[in-house]
Homo-oligomer: A and B are copies of this chain.
Amino acid sequence: MASQRPAALLFDVNGTLFPADVCAAAFRRAGLPGSAVEVWFARILRDGFAAQLAGGPHVTFRQLAEHHLAGLLAEHPVSPRVVGSRPSVQQAVEQVIAAWCTADLYPDAAPALRSLHVAGLKLAVLTNGSADTIARGVLQKAGLEGAFTQLMDIQGAGAWKPAPASYTYASQQLGLPPDRIMMVASHPWDIYGALQAGLQACYVQRDPGDPYPVFLAKQPQLVVGSFEQLAAQLAG
C-alpha cells in the first residue's frame, strides 16, 4: 500500500457492519417478500442521494424509510382475511428499525474490530442512517461501543454520503486530516465519495455481484473480502 498507514478507520454501518437483510423477517411479518428489502434499501439511498443533489432542506433516512415501506405495502396488498393481522406502516417501520438495532455484526467483524482497536487505530462510524439508534445499538450488543471514539451520522454532517461535505465533517470531528482516515464500506459509492474527499478507503466486497467499478476515476487502496483480511493488513 503506497499510502501512509491510517490513524483512524471510519466505518459505514448498514450493510457493512451487518447484512442489510437482517430486517427480512420483519418484512415477512408485514406480508412483504424478503426480497423486497433490497428494493427498499436501494430506493431509500437513490432518493436520499437525489434530495441531496437537488438541494433544499435535509431529508432523513427515516423519512424515506417510512415513505418507501408504505409504498411497498401498497404494492403488495394482502388478502382481506389477513388484513387485520398486518402491522400498520408505523408498526412495520418500528419492527424493521428494532431488527436493525439488535442486529448481530458479521461474524468476522467483532474479533477484527478488537484487533484494530488494540493495534492503536482510532475507530469511528459515519452512517446515512442514525448513529444514536442503529450504530450504537449494534455496537453495544456486540460489546464494542467502548472501542469506538465517535458515532457520527449525516444529520450531524448536514449532507448525505457520498457528498464530500459528509466526509469532511467526519474528518473535522476526528481532528485528523482526510488522508490519515480510511473509510471502510461495502458500498462502492461510499468508497468513491470518501476517495473524492481525500480519504483513503477499503472496499469490503462481500457480494460477488458488486465488484468495485473499474470505470470510476479513483480506486480504493484496499479491497478485502472480510474484516479478518482488513485486520490482517492493518493490525498484523
A164 within 8 A of B: yes
B-chain residues with CB within 8 Å of residue A1 when the two chains form the complex: none
How many identical subunits does the complex contain? 2
- Contact B163 A54, beta carbon cutoff 8 Å: yes
Q: Is the interface of A mostly helix, strand, loop or mixed?
A: helix
A46-75 at interface with B (beta carbon < 8 Å): 46-47, 49-57, 59, 63-64, 67, 70-75
Q: Could you tell me the distance between the alpha carbons of A70 and B217 in the complex, rounded to whole angstroms?
A: 20
- Contact A71 B193, beta carbon cutoff 8 Å: no
Task: Decide yes or no: A54 and B193 within 8 Å by CB, A46-B42, A208-B75 being known contacts.
Answer: yes
A180-228 at interface with B (beta carbon < 8 Å): 188-189, 192-193, 196-197, 207-211, 213, 215-218
Q: Could you tell me the distance between the alpha carbons of A149 and B39 in the complex, rounded to whole angstroms?
A: 36
A27 within 8 A of B: no
- Contact B160 A53, beta carbon cutoff 8 Å: yes
Task: Decide yes or no: A50 and B189 within 8 Å by CB, A56-B216, A59-B215, A217-B57 being known contacts.
Answer: yes
Residue A67 contacts which of B43, B47, B213, B217 (CB distance < 8 angstroms)? B213
A38 within 8 A of B: yes
Q: Could you tell me the distance between the alpha carbons of A208 and B76 in the complex, rounded to whole angstroms?
A: 10
- Contact B208 A74, beta carbon cutoff 8 Å: yes
Instruction: Quote the shortest CB–CB distance from A2 to chain B (angstroms).
Output: 20
B-chain residues with CB within 8 Å of residue A72 when the two chains form the complex: 209
Residue A39 contacts which of B42, B75, B208 (CB distance < 8 angstroms)? B42
- Contact A53 B217, beta carbon cutoff 8 Å: no
Q: Could you tell me the distance between the alpha carbons of A39 and B67 in the complex, rounded to whole angstroms?
A: 18
Q: Could you tell me the distance between the alpha carbons of A28 and B101 in the complex, rounded to whole angstroms?
A: 37
Given A42-B42, A51-B216, A54-B162, 8 additional A-B pairs, CB 8 A: A39-B39, A45-B46, A47-B188, A52-B53, A54-B189, A57-B217, A59-B215, A71-B209
Please name 18 pairs of A and B residues whose Cβ atoms are closer than 8 Å in the assembled complex, sorted by A. A39-B39, A46-B189, A50-B189, A50-B192, A51-B189, A51-B192, A52-B53, A54-B162, A54-B193, A55-B164, A56-B217, A56-B218, A57-B217, A59-B216, A63-B213, A64-B213, A73-B209, A74-B209
6 tightest Cβ-Cβ pairs between the two chains A and B: A50-B189, A71-B209, A75-B209, A42-B42, A49-B49, A54-B193
